[in-house]
Structure 1
């Protein structure tokens, strides 16, 4: 089944979260340069990625303009509506839905459930005639999955067309080949099915419920102006349950023994995989009624009403109970007589290149997985295991940098290298002001080694600024001039808090080490002490000339005292630099 262009990615919305890779049942998402792209040769058009993408980056091809063009041509255009329409448009009950479609321009409005009734009866006949295990063929995504990925089970697919195709063939047989049939339902895979070569021409176009809702919203049709209208052609009954698990068996009126012993109704890709495994091992089940979406067609990817599947299920059940009249056996017999309900299903496996163990090991090694215990199999990349991801890399479906734990390690190493090679001294302390980490430059400034980790910051410097930031008295310290005379270091210090962590980082920039790099305050101290010694020596050497010398040294002493006074004033200030 070709799915070319049916599901695609809106690149502007894609955020590289790998959600679509993770939930795609057949891993049909190709990651290229960080962007998720749908591979049409692998895609089933099931719409799982459309339903699950948190950014709404996956989109389904719209055929709305083509259908509107058909109606504008004034020919006969027949709407074939899936039985789940009652759950998708619950506000249009009592004949209003048929009236709505006719107001939009459809010539006739008919129920796809009529085709489902035919398919159910034909499938029951097939099971009676051929007692081996069969898989019902109503779901196109399921059939495509088997055809592409499980060729050994192709022979188990019931060679019966889907309800959509059966109904379209019947309508064209009754109203003429020139009549155009538009199927309306919740499943994007129906668009691909309608274009299959062996059923092409039966269905002229497929609209999803979401496309129809868009059409209604943009039209001038008002609900309060609609008048109830009847469904055209044959009315359905039990086959209205087809979108639910077990609906086929109910429509076919299969006996309770078959239901209890030889019949299994399943839904969802996980149960489908289990069914295929059961078939591979030799199943005793005579009929698997399998629907690809969890919960059945009432959970189709393009349902779009926002209601939960349980409420949708109730709408469908109530609709079946309100069937206007029992199925007219003569009408159905005549319809089945004139309609070809069979089709041939052949395998069409995707290309799977042979990959050696050495190639897989080489890809794993690129992300640091050289031993089995290195393979975390965490699924963060979207694949079930590290080996699956490696195979995807080799087949061009994935990139090695999708490994989140590995990329985190790479980022941490790069960060460590940047910090360690920085010329600035960097230190990190915890909420107790104990040293957690530091870089090489800091170690060089304070002549410390690994043993300082866990020690109080106060063993190296005054932690006052760090305390202020930690206590949130200030947001941060910016470019504050500091000096550490014991280490002959002066610098510009920045202190800030690590968000969401009780840790504080200190960065010493514009570092000067040695007496040449002392701050102005340290220069005053050093110059004052040196000058004081000179004054004392002069006083001792020139004691005999005390009268004349005293005047000179008194003058120098006054200068000395002024500098000491300036020193005291600066030491009493709250430092120089700024806080924010």
Structure 2
């Protein structure tokens, strides 16, 4: 499982994480950002800038709770930057709150800083090393191992204070002890499993996680008593999290080397490029991924104070007279190996040919050098850099926002301009904002001449007034525009967000005329049918009358004949 990544549901294709990632270790797949572990340096910058708060960080809270529930002895080692989190005046109460979670012992990680400072001194004084870079910051170590492997020899082969404390605790108290580091750094979650660092630390909690745990258990820091039974050390090791204070922890001749402190990955990359170019020699370099040092770590949690105030809190705490210094002689006397190895972790991208780059760029309408805007909206500094990322499967071709916007606008314009329906947009003051060609043709106007003019110059606007004032749309209302000889179906929609009313008119004049012509034919056919019926009825009546007369005459004649025959028989 990755230590840090993004929630799939919340990614919104803003590419802000890519823009801020100093090593472009973020892959976009099916419009979803993913952190590529083997490229990531765990600086946490991408997660802190995500506008959707789409970050996921592996939490060790349940793991530590399981240690305590099982009955394991748990040691908390807390980064000396914690006064910047809770304030120097609450620091001892905060330690008490931590103890109440079930820790057997609390050791300030400044103890580890004391151990590795002694190791640093040996390398500082050995002039067979040209430039040397401190190795307390795991993100800087990963940056060099993955992207500057040729400079691995500049890394001082010594563990970080966190690993140093873990090794000492397990050496003194036994390997069954569970050591849990608490600090503001996400990279520590990765470092605990590093090659040559394994088994020193059993879990890592960020300041964010520890506050979450305290809040979840209903532990109020301010209600606790002050706790001074913390294993720690003295000045200047307590100032280790502040940028530039590493050298103060070392007893060395400052004239032997050029000493500098560099913070933020961008500045460190510039420095590494200078070393690679052969421009720097004889330097001792304190390198920090976070601007200002560890007091500005990515997992610091909620804090209303900036770097300057945090620095002040750490300094104030380090000068507190009530600060109790435990006897750590049993730790100092133990024999522990603080060395570590750094290895080449680079995985170079495949470099596409010039034709392959041009082919990728052509897919997003970039055919010439002038088409390459290099705007950085996709997260990459240049269009070519993004094309190389596409070639390596790290990006998608259509991440180019100017291209997608232009394409969307072009398609929209094509649809709107080619539709036979007349479309017009007016603002709340009934001023014409835009119209399509069909509207110009239907109402005999020129858009450039009437833009920003009142719609009443063209036709009656009572329907638009009704829609804008009542925020109620009209659908398929039949309207006759007598001045233009037009009958149309009118639909008017109000867009509240933009304060715009959109009118759509479908010309049904021809249809209405056809309907009228058909209606006229129906009326004429009806009249003809009625005339035929009337004539037929008249004829029928005349025939009936004639038939009635002849029938009566026949009856008289036959009656007479019958009487004659009867009478004749009787006479004979």
Same fold (TM over 0.5): yes
Deviation for aligned residue 1:166: 1.0
Instruction: Confirm or deny that 1:339 pairs with 2:336.
Output: yes
Deviation for aligned residue 1:26: 1.3
More divergent stretch after superposition (70-79 vs 248-257): 248-257
Q: 1:534-564: per-residue Cα shift (whole Å, max 9, x none)?
A: xxxxxxxxxxxxxxxxxxxxxxxxxxxxxxx
In the alignment, which of 210, 215, 218 is matched to residue 217 of structure 1? 215
Q: Which residue of 1 aligns with 2:150?
A: 152
In the alignment, which of 241, 245, 270 is matched to residue 243 of structure 2? 245
Q: Distance in 2 between matches of 1:61 and 1:458?
A: 60
Deviation for aligned residue 1:301: 1.1
8 Å CA contact retained: 2:83, 2:91:
no
Q: Distance in 2 between matches of 1:461 and 1:234?
A: 83
Q: Which residue of 2 aligns with 1:306?
A: 303
8 Å CA contact retained: 2:192, 2:198:
yes
Q: Distance in 2 between matches of 1:32 and 1:310?
A: 40
Instruction: Confirm or deny that 1:173 pairs with 2:168.
Output: no
Paired residue secondary structure (1:288): strand
Q: Which residue of 2 aligns with 1:264?
A: 260
In the alignment, which of 190, 193, 196 is matched to residue 194 of structure 2? 196
Instruction: Confirm or deny that 1:15 pairs with 2:2.
Output: no
8 Å CA contact retained: 2:466, 2:472:
no
Deviation for aligned residue 1:94: 5.7
Q: Which residue of 1 aligns with 2:3?
A: 6
Paired residue secondary structure (1:104): coil
CA 1:394/1:242 → structure 2, altered by over 3 Å: closer, same or farther? same
CA 1:423/1:225 → structure 2, altered by over 3 Å: closer, same or farther? closer
> Pairwise CA RMSD of aligned residues?
3.4
Q: Which residue of 2 aligns with 1:315?
A: 313
CA 1:462/1:481 → structure 2, altered by over 3 Å: closer, same or farther? farther
More divergent stretch after superposition (112-121 vs 95-104): 95-104
CA 1:134/1:245 → structure 2, altered by over 3 Å: closer, same or farther? same
Instruction: Confirm or deny that 1:54 pairs with 2:45.
Output: no
Paired residue secondary structure (1:247): coil
Q: Which residue of 2 aligns with 1:276?
A: 272
**So what's the TM-score if we normalise by structure 2?**
0.81
CA 1:470/1:380 → structure 2, altered by over 3 Å: closer, same or farther? farther
8 Å CA contact retained: 2:113, 2:161:
yes
More divergent stretch after superposition (194-203 vs 454-463): 454-463
Aligned residue runs from structure 1 range 531-542, under 5 A: none
Q: Which residue of 2 aligns with 1:531?
A: none
8 Å CA contact retained: 1:135, 1:290:
yes
In the alignment, which of 203, 206, 209 is matched to residue 204 of structure 2? 206
In the alignment, which of 346, 357, 375 is matched to residue 349 of structure 1? 346
In the alignment, which of 147, 159, 162 is matched to residue 160 of structure 2? 162
More divergent stretch after superposition (202-211 vs 478-487): 478-487
Structure with the greater alpha carbon radius of gyration: 2
Q: Distance in 2 between matches of 1:272 and 1:123?
A: 20
Q: 1:283-326: per-residue Cα shift (whole Å, max 9, x none)?
A: 13511101101121111111103232222111111122226689
Q: Which residue of 2 aligns with 1:388?
A: 385
Q: Which residue of 2 aligns with 1:403?
A: 400
Instruction: Confirm or deny that 1:33 pairs with 2:40.
Output: no
Q: Distance in 1 between matches of 2:189 and 2:436?
A: 61
Q: Distance in 1 between matches of 2:329 and 2:335?
A: 11
Q: Distance in 2 between matches of 1:300 and 1:458?
A: 58
Q: Distance in 1 between matches of 2:342 and 2:325?
A: 30
8 Å CA contact retained: 1:187, 1:301:
yes
Deviation for aligned residue 1:256: 4.8
Q: Distance in 2 between matches of 1:459 and 1:232?
A: 78
Q: Which residue of 2 aligns with 1:227?
A: 225
Deviation for aligned residue 1:189: 0.6
Deviation for aligned residue 1:132: 0.6
CA 1:412/1:391 → structure 2, altered by over 3 Å: closer, same or farther? same
Paired residue secondary structure (2:351): coil
Q: Distance in 1 between matches of 2:89 and 2:5?
A: 31
Instruction: Confirm or deny that 1:185 pairs with 2:183.
Output: yes
CA 1:231/1:15 → structure 2, altered by over 3 Å: closer, same or farther? farther
8 Å CA contact retained: 1:377, 1:386:
yes
In the alignment, which of 87, 90, 103 is matched to residue 87 of structure 2? 90
Q: Which residue of 2 aligns with 1:577?
A: none
8 Å CA contact retained: 1:238, 1:251:
yes
Deviation for aligned residue 1:329: 11
Aligned length: 514
Unaligned runs of 5+ in 2: 521-572
More divergent stretch after superposition (498-507 vs 344-353): 498-507
8 Å CA contact retained: 1:434, 1:453:
no
More divergent stretch after superposition (322-331 vs 4-13): 322-331
